[in-house]
Homo-oligomer: A and B are copies of this chain.
Amino acid sequence: MADFELDPRLAADTHAVADWPVSRVLLMDDARFPWLILVPRVAGARELHALPEATRAALFDEVVRAAAALERATGATKMNVAALGNLVPQLHVHVIARHEGDAAWPGPVWGMPGSQPRAEGPRRELLARFEAALPSGATAP
């Protein structure tokens, strides 16, 4: 995975959280939604079905792990999990904790105007809750 480079738009819109075995885990810089993005560190990856099978299975495991922990950390009404990539084709998977009545509810979060940057305190607090909710209690699987 030596040639992997995070897309500049993803880099600009997020805070880096951790590198898991397959994914770079990012936190979207929008305080309205607890919103992680998992980017497999595979150069040139665009589509889930085009990933090597073992990499894809490991990515899915990491997505499921992130969704379970973010749900526990936030008490979400519903988790949204999605690989879209119409604007940023680098393969990335959104893991978003949705709450009834949140700024986009019940619609999707993408393209909602009015993004609110995260203050450092609430960001650290959310990530601490997320990490505590991971099955192993640590950031890396």
Residues in chain A within 8 A of chain B (CB atoms): 46-50, 56-57, 60, 63-65, 67-68, 71, 77-87, 89, 98, 105-108, 110-111
Complex CA gap A64/B53 in Å reads 10
Contact call B87/A106, Cβ cutoff below 8 A: yes
Partner of A79, one of B47, B71, B111: B47
In the bound complex, how far is the Cα of B85 from the Cα of A77, in angstroms? 10
- 23 residue pairs of the A-B complex, CB under 8 angstroms, read A46-B78, A47-B67, A48-B67, A49-B64, A49-B68, A49-B71, A49-B79, A50-B68, A56-B64, A57-B57, A78-B84, A78-B85, A78-B86, A79-B83, A80-B84, A80-B86, A82-B82, A82-B84, A86-B105, A86-B108, A87-B106, A108-B108, A108-B110
- Chain A facing B: main interface SS: mixed
In the bound complex, how far is the Cα of B68 from the Cα of A63, in angstroms?
20
Contact partner of A86 (CB less than 8 A), chosen from B85, B87, B106, is B106
Contact B78 A81 (CB under 8 A): no
CB-CB nearest in chain B for A59: B60
